[in-house]
Amino acid sequence: MRWLVIVIILLFLLFLDYNWGNKVSKAAARKKIGVERQSDITLFTTGETLFDDYFAELERAKHHIHILFYIVRDDEIGKRFFSLLEQKVNEGVEVRVLVDWVGSFGLPSSLRQKSGQFAFANRPTLPFFFYKLNERNHRKITVIDGKIGYLGGFNIGKEYIGQDPKFGHWRDYHLKITGEGVADLQRQFAEDWKEATGQTFGDDERYFPPLQKGAVKHRFVPTDGAYLEEEFIQLIKHAKREIIIGTPYFIPSKKIMDALFEAIKRGVQLTIIAPIQADHPFVKEASFPYFRQLLHAGAHIYQFYNGFYHTKVIVIDDDICDIGTANFDRRSLFINYEMNCYIYDKPFIQHVKQTIARDIDTSTWLTAEYFRKQSWLHRFKEAVATMLSPLL
């Protein structure tokens, strides 16, 4: 009985820590309204092609390399990554690497020391330790010489280049940006670097060189655990014909579900692509209650089977395409630090839609019959997942 009382008290303290920390964090959060830019943008959908390009650009760096990832693994590709950074440091290039404390937990100091200046983002501290343990920097930003930027869903690890047999082929979307939008990535990195280290690196022309306009109109949308729900709802309300959502985790808020139902009622076709396998416990089951409701309302839902689907993409008609770091889940909506890119260029959006169509070709169509055949064990896991969904 005494142990039960202790457990109840501990759970209450964790609940109090999380909710109080959440209120304090939300009160301090500020809405960031990105400015429309024009850049040249390239879409990468496989880790093999992305990292061939990425490492080549790192090798060409002359002045500085600024990198923020959620996950950097201590594996073959992680060692190659840090070895290249060490080479650039020895060449006199300024290198700053920022990784999330939880996402890259256990990264050995022998690797970290190779990267010039290294820091952990969102290291949990008192007060509100439990809340801050969940508040993670999920952004993936790279800026090279202030002229080349990268943003998207890939991290550094063997699974992201299809070398983990558990997942096989890894499908993700990542952007390479050249042009005036790179300065916005640099500013966000500078803000995150200062928050983690207390240091600034200046705003002179070495870090913010003159940049030319590119062909693709776009806008970056950074969020710090707040305002992303509002952004997604505005996207959904904009839709007149179709909404396409690609995400590894589909755990929306009630307000977003209401917006999706309203869109379907006004004749908008909703299509969702999610993975058939999961990379974390319960995240797949947590999506099932939402899928049931949306199927009943007339949505089309597909489960990608050609490996793991880690893509974060939203397409609204032929007008707006969102690619970035945010998942379609509660953690990205209300806890994580994210960075998305809204693209307004019709040819680029058509290219993305064609890419999504190929993803659907290697997916199965989810039906209501699938849920009717579920075992009691699957239904139990779904119930547990529903309770845990705010932290998934």
Residue 66 DSSP SS3? strand
Residue 337 DSSP SS3? strand
Closest C-alpha to 41, from 328, 351, 358: 351
Give the span between the Cα atoms of 161 and 164, in whole angstroms: 8
Which of 164, 317, 318, 319 is an active site residue? 317
Residues 6+ apart with CB under 8 A from 94: 63, 64, 65, 116, 117, 201
To the query of whether residue 381 is one of the catalytic residues in this protein, the response is: no
Q: How many CA atoms, within 13 angstroms, populate the side-chain half-sphere of residue 23? A: 5
Q: Which amino acid would we find at residue 49?
A: T
**What is the DSSP code string of 205-265?**
TTTS------SEEEEEEEEESSSHHHHHHHHHHH-SSEEEEE-S-B---HHHHHHHHHHHH
Give the span between the Cα atoms of 305 and 140, in whole angstroms: 25
To the query of whether residue 138 is one of the catalytic residues in this protein, the response is: yes
How are beta strands 313-316 and 320-324 bridged, if at all?
antiparallel
Which of 145, 172, 184, 192 is an active site residue? 145
- Hey, how many other C-beta atoms are within 10 angstroms of the C-beta on 67? 24
Which of 147, 312, 322, 329 is an active site residue? 312
To the query of whether residue 53 is one of the catalytic residues in this protein, the response is: no
Which of 138, 217, 284, 381 is an active site residue? 138
In total, the chain counts a number of residues equal to 392
Residue 18's region, left for phi above 0, alpha for psi from -120 to 50, else beta, is: alpha
Q: Strand locations in 268-384, DSSP E?
A: 269-275, 300-304, 308-309, 313-316, 320-324, 337-343, 363-365
To the query of whether residue 346 is one of the catalytic residues in this protein, the response is: no
Which of 64, 88, 132, 140 is an active site residue? 140
Which of 192, 310, 329, 345 is an active site residue? 310
Q: Taking the CA atoms of 248, 253, 254 and 255 in sequence, report the sign of the dihedral they define.
A: negative
Give the span between the Cα atoms of 20 and 28, in whole angstroms: 13
Give the span between the Cα atoms of 382 and 213, in whole angstroms: 48
The pair of three-digit structure tokens given for residue 23, joined into one six-digit string:
């209120």
Give catalytic residues, as residue numbers.
Answer: 138, 140, 145, 310, 312, 317
